[in-house]
Amino acid sequence: MSSIESVMNETRVFEPAESFKAQANVKGMDGYRALCEQAEKDYEGFWAGLARELLVWKKPFTKVLDESNAPFYKWFDDGEMNVSYNCLDKHLATQPNKIAIIFEADDGKVTKITYKDLYHRVCTFANGLKALGAKKGDRVIIYLPMSIEAVVAMQACARIGAIHSVVFGGFSAKSLHERITDASASLIITADGQFRGGKAMQLKPAVDDALAMGGCECVKKVVVYQRTAGETAWDAQRDVWWHDAVQGQADTCEPEWVNAEHPLFVLYTSGSTGKPKGVQHSSAGFLLHAINTMRWTFDYKDSDIFWCTADVGWITGHTYVTYGPLGIGATQLMFEGVPTYPDAGRFWKMIQDHKITTFYTAPTAIRSLIKLGADLPKQYDLSSLRLLGTVGEPINPEAWMWYYNTVGQTRCPVVDTWWQTETGGHMITPLPGVHGLKPGSCTMALPGIMAAIVDEAGHDVEKGKGGFLVIKRPWPSMIRTIYGDPERYKKNYFPEDLGGKYYLAGDGANCDLDGYFWIMGRIDDVLNVSGHRLGTMEIESALVANPLVAEAAVVGKPHDIKGEAVVAYVVLKGARPEGEDAKKIVADLRNWVAKEIGPIAKPDEIRFGDNLPKTRSGKIMRRLLRALAKGEEITQDVSTLENPAILEQLKEVVK
Ligand code: WTA
């Protein structure tokens, strides 16, 4: 709650300029209200209208929403379409020569590809995948760096009806293995390596290691895109170079017409247990929302040059790199490298060079760029920008104001978009020609999204009071299930305590007297580190898997740039280490977690104790650990604590 108080200190409201409003796709509060009313009056008719307007159907749907097996909802279920057709073929008649992707490599080299070329690349690769035995319904793991090939691979899967599961390149072999086996993937698409910050890094060894861990008999082939051209270990039976896989393949490929509900992809994300959840999305409903939010939230115009900085390994990259921009026919920028190479002006230079109009990034990136050079944007011509966006975590008002003033030069509305891997696309967000902006608030729900705040029993809370953020009605781009675990889907997202009907987002939130939403952060054991979701249990399981560790508890603490930092309390099997010993074990454990999960999950701090603070019934007192992590005085009642003496030990951070 304290963080939200600081956010509320900025009380100014930034209204959209008349000139922006006049040209906006949704004009003013009247335009917004009219859409909301339409959705309230005829919910199915509202979504059906959008689905007919924005998607091309091979076979039109006659049913809209099927709630007969709630919460396993179906949308447009008797319709048939293909996502890749809707992203590529659809544009061939009207804009074949428009640039679809401008790719800027780590070293600054720029490659541009038109819609027509991208279409042929996707078709050729889709034919290559088919020749390797991939078919409709197969799961395909994609473990690729930011590249045109990553988009081609995802679109090619969609074209043949294969279900892709993209794994972020920063995840370790172990995490990759977990996802390969959970999805029982038959094919993996990867690269030999990637360039970041002027350095070549290998990628394929992680795939080799994952497959060597056993239980991966499902995997028949590994397709390898050659990016760094270093030495690569090779399994001649299993591995195929991308350039060989497409050799001699036709450059057209009839799309696989699939049912609207056919799974488009599974994307793993952290939850409150140790095992990541495979969030499964549909084809039509997902794409519909991706396209429509490009139009509403990003106020898309044909002349725009769109840049979403997210990696395709995250949901933001799925919706706002691979599917939304192509679905609407935009020109977009993709970037291989990091914002700090060759210097912290890289993003601003790229906005200038490519005349970016719409820029979408994460608060953590904004905060680190402020720190590295708050005045740097002034050295570049950013006059092409007309709209800014953020996603992934709450944005503090200081960062918001800097973004608005220094990057957007007070000309560009900032859309603070709240959504999740599970929601498929934006849910609560300002529309740039509608809402007055309050820094730190994601403002109001999109028309057709029935967001509300309820108490433990599922009753609406009064405005101004905090509670659980829920969505009261199913929407087209929602998660369909957790892959292979429908029970967990039901329990996790539609808990009986709330009546079993509301989608529980897992965030605490507040709605102020003007009806503006303020997100207060997760209510479960999920951390948000640099906009990445990490389960505390996942990190704990990784730690206790180390032979030295007896027990571990992980909590978050506020961090200036990352939003949250990871603090781990560890009990070793041997004695509590001190001095140099402790330092060495800390370094080892950090590397261990990087190997088990990925570098993003490395604890920022490790503290050792002879034990963890537990109640007499043996429950770890996490609230206490959170207070200790923040360095707060312990004012809470510790009388139930079995071993109060260890609190002193746990205050000590190993530096
Ligand atoms: C948080 C990312 C405040 C939230 C698209 C949510 C936000 C989680 C915002 C989902 C925002 C995302 N303001 N918090 N604008 N956007 N979050 O699945 O806690 O990686 O539940 O999806 O990020 O993270 P995920």
Among the listed ranges 65-79, 192-206, 271-285, which one has the minimum average pLDDT value?
A: 271-285
- φ, ψ of residue 239 in degrees (nearest 5): -90, 140
Residue nearest to atom 10 of ligand 1 (CA): 420
One CATH from 3.30.300.30, 3.40.50.1390, 3.40.190.10, 1.10.3720.10 for 530-651: 3.30.300.30
> Would you state the pLDDT for residue 217?
97
* pLDDT reading at 4 higher than 50: no
The encoded tokens of residue 567 equal: 């603090």
Task: Check whether 340 is labelled as a binding-site residue.
Answer: no
Q: With contact defined as beta carbons under 8 Å apart, do 260 and 52 qualify?
A: no
* pLDDT reading at 2 higher than 50: no
- Between β-strands 221-225 and 239-241, what pairing exists: parallel, antiparallel or unpaired? parallel
> Would you state the pLDDT for residue 3?
39
Tell me the ipTM for this assembly: 1.00
| Mean pLDDT confidence for 351-370 | 96
**pLDDT digits 0-9 by tens, 32-41:** 999 999 999 9
CA angle, residues 42, 508, 542, in degrees to nearest 5? 120
Write the CB contacts of 11 (distance below 8 Å, at least 6 apart in sequence). Answer: 438
CA-wise closest residue to 150 among 298, 23, 330, 335? 335
| Mean pLDDT confidence for 185-204 | 97
Average pLDDT over the chain reads 95
Cis (ω within 30 of 0) for the bond into 377?
Answer: no
Fold of 450-522: Luciferase; domain 3 (2.30.38)
| Mean pLDDT confidence for 260-288 | 94
* pLDDT reading at 6 higher than 60: no
- φ, ψ of residue 133 in degrees (nearest 5): 100, 0
Q: Is 208 in the pocket of ligand 1 (CB under 6 A)?
A: no
Residue nearest to atom 22 of ligand 1 (CA): 420
> Would you state the pLDDT for residue 271?
83
CA-wise closest residue to 475 among 143, 189, 71? 71
* pLDDT reading at 603 higher than 70: yes
Task: Check whether 544 is labelled as a binding-site residue.
Answer: yes
- φ, ψ of residue 438 in degrees (nearest 5): -115, 115
Q: Where does the pLDDT of residue 9 fall: very low under 50, low under 70, confident under 90, or very high at 90 and above?
A: low
| Mean pLDDT confidence for 428-446 | 98
> Would you state the pLDDT for residue 551?
92
Q: From CA 301, how far away is CA 96, in angstroms rounded?
A: 17
| 166, 168, 393: residue to mutate for ligand 1 pocket, most atoms within 8 A of CB | 393
199 CA to centre of ligand 1 in angstroms: 31
CATH 3.30.300.30 domain residues, the chain: 530-651
**pLDDT digits 0-9 by tens, 466-510:** 999 999 999 999 999 999 999 999 999 999 999 999 999 999 999
Q: With contact defined as beta carbons under 8 Å apart, do 206 and 176 qualify?
A: yes
Q: From CA 164, how far away is CA 189, in angstroms rounded?
A: 10
Largest interatomic CA distance in the chain: 74
Write the CB contacts of 68 (distance below 8 Å, at least 6 apart in sequence). Answer: none
Task: Check whether 316 is labelled as a binding-site residue.
Answer: yes
* pLDDT reading at 285 higher than 90: yes
Among the listed ranges 134-143, 404-413, 521-530, 547-556, which one has the minimum average pLDDT value?
A: 521-530
Task: Check whether 592 is labelled as a binding-site residue.
Answer: no
519 CA to centre of ligand 1 in angstroms: 9
Percent above pLDDT 70 for the chain: 98
**pLDDT digits 0-9 by tens, 217-257:** 999 999 999 999 999 999 999 999 999 999 999 999 999 99
CATH 2.30.38.10 domain residues, the chain: 450-522
- φ, ψ of residue 213 in degrees (nearest 5): -75, -10
417 CA to centre of ligand 1 in angstroms: 8
DSSP 25-40: SS-HHHHHHHHHHHHH
Task: Check whether 83 is labelled as a binding-site residue.
Answer: no
Burial environment of residue 72 by CB neighbours within 10 A (0 to 12, 13 to 18, 19 or more): middle
What percent of the residues of the chain are helix, what percent strand, and what percent coil, each to the nearest 5?
A: 35, 25, 45
